[in-house]
A and B are shown apart, each in its own frame.
Chain A
Amino acid sequence: MDMIYILVPLAVLLSLIALGLLIWSIRHAQFDDLVGPAHRILFEDDQEMIPGSKSKPMDESINKAQEGRE
């Protein structure tokens, strides 16, 4: 039964670590946007890394589009 003198502090320590992580993530704005991350998972931001994709840097396309406007 003396084990309890170790186990209780151990359990508390573990939950203290969890609490520390919670407070750290709150401070780093992790809880400010609860809707976004769910959608961001489904974004495909890696078009540029796929060989043969059509993605290009912006400025070329903006110039082309503006030429078309005149």
Chain B
Amino acid sequence: MTQKCVHCGLDLPLHGICEEGGSRFCCLGCQLAWRMIQEMGLGDYYQRRDEGFMGRPPQGVDGVGLQVFDDMEYQRQFVGELDGNQKEVCLLLDGIHCAACVWLNEQMLRKLSGVEEVWINFATHRARVRWNPKQVGLSDIIGTIRSIGYQAEPYDPTVSEQGRSQVDRELLSRLGVAAFGAANVMFIAVALYAGYFQGMEAEAKLYFHWASLLLATPVILYSGGLFLRGAYNGLRMGRLTMDLPIALGAWVTYGYSLVVTVRGVGEIYFDSVTMFIFVLLTGRYFESTARGKAASVMERLVNLTPRYAVVIREGEQVTVPVREVRVGDQVMVKPGERIPVDGTLIIGRTSVDESMLTGESLPVVKGVGDRVVGGSMNLDGGVVLIAVRVGEETTLARILSLVERAQVARPPIQAMADRVAARFVGVVLVLAAVTLGYWLWRDSAKALENCVAVLIITCPCALGLGAPAVMVVAMGVAARMGILIKSGETLERLEQVGQVVLDKTGVLTLGTLGVERVVSVGELNEQGVLTLAAALEQHSEHPVGRAIFQAFLARDWGLASVVEAVRNVPGLGLEGVLQGHKVRVGRPEFVLEGMGGVLPVPPDDPDHPVTWTACGQEGRLLGWIGLSDIPKPNAGEVVAALKSMGLPVMLLSGDRRAVVESMGRLTGVDQMVSDVLPEGKEARIASLQQAGERVAMVGDGVNDAPALARADVALVVANAADLAVAAADVILLNRDLYSVVRVLLLARLSLRTIRQNYFFSIVYNLFAIPLAMSGLVSPIVAAVLMPLSSLVVVGNALRLRHVKLDQPVVIQAGIG
């Protein structure tokens, strides 16, 4: 059981532990953060934090990276100037897990002299900071947040959040007015109902009618105005939306009751109108907040390219904002940093992690003359490169524009609700006209009344609530399972899906390397080979090295041996001295250096390719270690479940053919496509769509983003690249791939429930309309039938909460 760092909660490494005051930390950054927090008197933070907290060590605290925040050009986009010489900024915070995190950040910032106000929104993790620029700068503010282990990024609130919160506030106001009106009209209506049965003075009855009219008018005008506007907008675009029958029904009911009040004869229905406007608005409000919650998770830090770059100008190293790098500039990149622009290496040798682009889980060795891509991570060697493409021309920028284009090209879907509404309105209007005509001929006194009765009784409440109620319940059920669905429309798209496309790395597989095989060729057995390799690799930052070391730790054979004189040769391997012998691990030519002869061939199995690392002593090969990306434990089950639902599964990856085919065969997918670039992935989705299929794509990397934007439904695994998250319709927060099956099942069940609701409202109308047409509907009958229909529909939607989504295949409690 490894110990954890007191500050960030991650496991303590085997060496390099810092200690202070009896507490142990994983690195100097955490130790300093702890010290600062204690000195501020905020040590309570560590008690209040949730158990099992897992954060990050402080990153990016050096002055260089922070300078850019004080740049005037940069600030113009995000920082607002207020009078009294104050500035204000909205920050997106990353790393917040609980209330204690919010508390700590607020306290730390408040204590900076010059910071006037800090307010952090718990739900959205957005911070608003007001400060005096003469006393403190934006770089200090962001630096403080980073020094305790969180990340902060300025953003422009008007673009995303302001719009949405405005809409939500207005909706809530309308809801409040509707509630006010409905409640008051209801209490008066009780008196009127009593009067209907027991008799009431005409004077009192008239008084109540007028009171109800005055209360209902603001409701229909302000609260109900939403539906009027929706209906009008729909009509202008030539579409009949759900708002139309709602607005029609509401206004007819109100208008009829108005006439009754003015003439002083008959019964009013203000209580029905206000009630169903209130209920419908409640549905809309919940839908809006559910959507808002999902959306705010999706707008995260888009931080793929660094803000600044170190450029060599006239022999000097100059730090500049990335947009100032020009083609032909010499750019220096240290190990552990992201490469800022597309370029060609001119000095140095290193490995880079290009997984965000190609999906390749293994780092690629780059030497002088090789091309590197902006946004990829420089792993182990310091290099200098010449910028070849900058700004909008870089590969990353082009992928971004691909995503935007794909989103526009995505096929639209007309919501089922709107299609039903269109037909419904037509039929009802025809029947009302028929009633009018018939009664004008039969007994014209009753004609108008019966015509209106038809229009009123076909209460759009059941129809209007049928879909929203189900969608809200479904989104809540999904959220509790760790699946965030962006909107009700997504549910409909999910139900129509006919083809599932999966990315490989990070979706079907764990995304990290694991040791699959250890082969001994010399005097050491497998255990000895792994132990030797691990002894060296414990000093490695390379994914391959870390995987070997993790595999050694997992086997619990004791502590790793101590190796002296460890030297890391980027791109080739590590060497050191163990018990007097020179040992090496890495590429075969490196391990056998100086011994000449033929390079040994690793024991490769063509059906099951892995990446081989050699291990040896004094130029003699002792063994091979084979690593590959391991599929998630329930990957096979998930694919089987999808196929049993009638959905063919395709594996789409940028990785090379042998690896993709091996993974495909292991998990049982129907089709495997390899070696595709981001454009290729999008093209594949497009061709599937042209063949008439609705495609659901599950991805996680930047290289998936254009394809995700194009697919009918984009599902994204949590911890995916931010660009992928931005293009997503569904986020799978828990790492369990089976969520894909669950959300598809949920969508099918939801649509079935919606259709049940529509079926019910049709039956209800078939029953009620003839009653109305023949003049048999008395006010009390109408007053009872209408709310009853709403209740049935909402009750049916609530049944979704008890649904079990673990069929068709029994699940494992895997984390994946």
Q: Please give the residue numbers on chain A whose beta carbons come within 8 Å of chain B beta carbons, in ascending order.
A: 1, 4-5, 8-9, 11-12, 15-16, 18-19, 22-23, 26-27, 31-36, 39, 42-45, 47, 53-62, 64-65, 68-69
Contact = CB atoms under 8 A, between A and B. Distances in A.
B284 to A, nearest CB: 15
A68 B147 CA distance: 13
Nearest to A5: B207
16 contacts: A4-B207, A8-B211, A16-B180, A22-B173, A23-B177, A26-B169, A32-B121, A34-B123, A36-B123, A44-B44, A54-B41, A56-B41, A57-B113, A58-B108, A58-B111, A68-B32
B44 to A, nearest CB: 7
Contact of A35 (B39, B123, B168, B176): B123
B180 A4 contact: no
Interface residues of B, number: 41
A23 B173 contact: yes
Contacts of A44: 44
Interface in B101-124: 102-103, 107-108, 111-113, 120-124
B88 to A, nearest CB: 15
A5 B215 CA distance: 15
A69 B123 contact: no
Contact of A27 (B123, B144, B169, B188): B169
B28 interface: yes
Contacts of A16: 180
A22 to B, nearest CB: 5
Interface of B: 28, 32, 35-36, 39-42, 44, 99, 102-103, 107-108, 111-113, 120-124, 144, 147, 165, 168-169, 172-173, 176-177, 180, 183-184, 187-188, 204, 207-208, 211, 215
Main secondary structure of the interface of A (DSSP, over half): helix
A54 B41 CA distance: 5
A61 B180 contact: no
Contact of B40 (A4, A11, A61): A61
Contacts of A18: 180
A43 B243 CA distance: 46
B40 A55 contact: yes
A1 B42 CA distance: 65
Contacts of B122: 33, 35-36, 39
B180 A19 contact: yes
Contacts of B41: 47, 53-56
A45 B41 CA distance: 11
List 3 tightest A-B contacts by C-beta distance, closest first: A58-B111, A55-B41, A39-B99
A23 B176 contact: yes
B99 A61 contact: no
A30 to B, nearest CB: 10
A26 B173 contact: yes
Given A57-B113, A64-B39, A65-B32, A11 B121 contact: no
Contacts of B183: 15
B188 A8 contact: yes
A52 to B, nearest CB: 11
Nearest to B29: A69
A1 B32 contact: no
Contacts of A55: 40-42
B40 A31 contact: no
Contacts of B32: 65, 68-69
Contacts of B173: 22-23, 26
B99 A65 contact: no
B187 A11 contact: yes
B44 A31 contact: no
A9 to B, nearest CB: 8
B533 to A, nearest CB: 35
A69 B33 CA distance: 10
B6 to A, nearest CB: 16
A69 B143 CA distance: 14
A59 B39 contact: no
B723 to A, nearest CB: 28
B177 A19 contact: yes
Given A31-B172, A53-B41, A56-B40, A36 B113 contact: no
A68 B44 CA distance: 22
A66 to B, nearest CB: 8
B184 A12 contact: yes
B184 A26 contact: no
Given A27-B169, A32-B168, 15 more contacts: A4-B207, A11-B184, A15-B180, A19-B180, A26-B173, A31-B169, A32-B121, A33-B123, A39-B102, A55-B40, A56-B40, A58-B112, A61-B39, A64-B35, A69-B28
A38 to B, nearest CB: 9
Nearest to A68: B32
Nearest to B183: A15
Given A35-B123, A36-B121, A55-B41, A65 B111 contact: no
A4 B211 CA distance: 11
Contact of B113 (A9, A42, A58, A64): A58
